[in-house]
Amino acid sequence: MTIMMDTGNRIGAKAAVMAKPEVVAAYPITPQTTMVEAIAEYVARGEFKGEYICVESEHSAMSACIGASAAGSRTFTATSSHGLLLMHEMLHWAALARLPVVMCNINRVIGPGWNIWVDENDSISQRDTGWIQFYCSSNQEIFDTVIQAFKLAEHQKIVLPVMVNLNAFILSHTSMPAEIPEQQTVDDFVGKYVPHWKLDIDNPITFGNIIGPEHYYKVRRAMQEAQQNAKQLIPQIAKDWKKASGYFHGDLLEYYKCEGAEHILLSMGAIGAESKIAIDEMQKAGIKIGLARVRVIRPFPAEEIRKLGKQADLIIIDRNISIGSEGVLFNEAKAALYGESEAKATGFIAGLGGKDVTYKDIETMCRKAMNGSAKKQEWYGMED
């Protein structure tokens, strides 16, 4: 075990390399670049022995990962924002083809205008592609989640691609210490990749030819079942990793001081980390409030949120907006509560375009929700 004091991107790259993918295909985009540069350094030093394909676009990055995965190799890539959007077609393809590609996405604003700061509209807008989606809140969590992502993606009950999201700059470019386990620990945990299916000259199959209505729905249904399986396996794998490494960041959600809380804050990513300080401050002032940091948005933790709704009213912060509707976490949390809970849900849209959200802002939002002065969902810090 060693301590690595480095940025989220470089710690994510370290985890990816330690999981020993056979093929990495990637294309540079700010603020993901330092992650693929780090992998290139591992290649140059001979510490990464896989193939590193510097493709000519993100669409090709995902296509190459799909080809490599279909040929029976463990694969990894990383992207951000517009790169993720360019991959959109192939994100669906990877999931429908049941290929366990693992990818880091650095959450960045979508243009125009050009803006490289954080918000989560990039990955949130890919939530229907069939990928499992994690959101990290510290560099240690990035490392641990990337390792867990390979284990999860390749599990025979899952066989789906996994996206590990980290917020631009706040995590991607901020140095924090992370404990790096021994290579043997990672090897033992992730194991050898055993493909669920592959292109094999000894067993020639035609994959992805024309499929009629009498068969297609089975593909979708199997994907849905795999996502449901992930609700059990994500907590299990998190627990197993805790045993192996000592680190645990929560299951589908991370519960922070929720005991006896009459209000529970739901937030994600870096705001999720900042929320802990806000909760501490408010609890010091005698307010009964806790935090449920959402680590996984696909599969959506509906049962867990329903349970929270039986205990407390919910305050939900979204760093995204589904234009014409509302914040996606707010929207889906309410859908989970529907007909099952009397809990009040108050939503805030905050931090779009990289606007800073401090613990004081979070506290202000929570107080507004608790004293009833907030609308059902309102924009915070972006009123003008």
Partner 1 sequence: MALKDYPVDECLLQGNASCPGCPATIGLRLVLKALGKKTIMVIPACCTAVIESLYPHTSFDIPVMNIAFEAAAAGASGVEAALRQQGRTDITVAAWAGDGGTYDIGIQALSGALERRTNFIYICYNNQIYSNTGIQRSGATPYAAWTTTTVSGKNEFRKEMGEIILAHHIPYAAQTCISYPEDVISKITKAKNIQGPKYIEILAPCPPGWRFSMDKTVEMGRLAVDSGAWSLWECENDVMTFNGKSKLILEKKIQRKPVEEWIKYQGRFSHLFRPQRDEVRLKAIEDYTDNLWERYRKCYTTK
Nearer to partner 1, 60 or 275 (CB): 60
Of 71 and 287, CB closest to partner 1 = 71
SS3 of 175, please?
strand
Which value, to the nearest 10 degrees, does the dihedral of the CA atoms of residues 366, 368, 371, 375 take? -120
Q: Answer yes or no: are the C-beta atoms of 270 and 359 closer than 8 Å.
A: no
- Residue closer to partner 1 by CB (options 110, 199) is 199
Close Cβ partners of 72 (under 8 Å, ≥ 6 residues apart): 193, 195, 198, 199, 200
Residues numbered 18 to 77 that lie near partner 1 (CB under 8 A) are 22-23, 25, 50-51, 53-57, 59-61, 63-73, 75
51 vs 240, beta carbon nearer partner 1: 51
Which is nearer to partner 1, 50 or 299 (by Cβ)?
A: 50
Residues of span 135-154 touching partner 1 by CB under 8 A? none
Residue 37 and residue 62 in contact, taking contact as beta carbons nearer than 8 Å: no
Q: Is the distance from CB of 147 to CB of 241 less than 8 angstroms?
A: yes
d(CA 126, CA 123): 5
Is position 222 an interface residue for partner 1 (rule: CB under 8 A)?
no
Q: How far is the CB of 53 from partner 1 (least distance, A)?
A: 6
**Which range of residues in 87-95, 159-167, 307-315, 355-363 is near partner 1 by CB under 8 A?**
87-95
Shortest Cβ 281–partner 1 spacing (Å) = 49
Q: What would the x/- binding string for partner 1 be over residues 149 to 188, using CB under 8 A?
A: ----------------------------------------
Q: How far is the CB of 214 from partner 1 (least distance, A)?
A: 10
**Residue closer to partner 1 (CB basis): 73 or 283:** 73
User: Toward partner 1, which CB reaches closer, 58 or 119?
Assistant: 58
How many residues belong to the site for partner 1 (CB under 8 A)? Answer: 42
221 part of the interface to partner 1, by CB under 8 A: no
Q: Which two tokens stand for residue 14?
A: 């370290």
Phi, psi of 354, rounded to the nearest 5 degrees: 90, 10
Residues 306-321: b if buried by 16+ CB within 10 A, e if exposed: bebbebbbbbbbbbbb
Instruction: State the nearest-atom distance from the C-beta of 65 to partner 1, in Å.
Output: 6
Nearest alpha-carbon partner for 185 in 240, 244, 101, 134: 244
Alpha carbon of residue 20 to chain centroid = 20
Contact set for partner 1, span 242-261 (CB under 8 A): none
Among 177, 191, 208, 260, binds partner 1 (CB under 8 A): 208
Give the burial string for 89-98 (b: 16+ CB within 10 Å, else e). ebbbbbbbbb
Nearest distance from C-beta of residue 122 to partner 1, angstroms: 20
Q: Residue 148 corresponds to which tokens in the numbers above?
A: 């867990």
CA 289 to CA 208: how far, in whole Å?
A: 50
Q: Rule CB under 8 A: which residues touch partner 1?
A: 22-23, 25, 50-51, 53-57, 59-61, 63-73, 75, 89-90, 93, 199-201, 203-212, 215
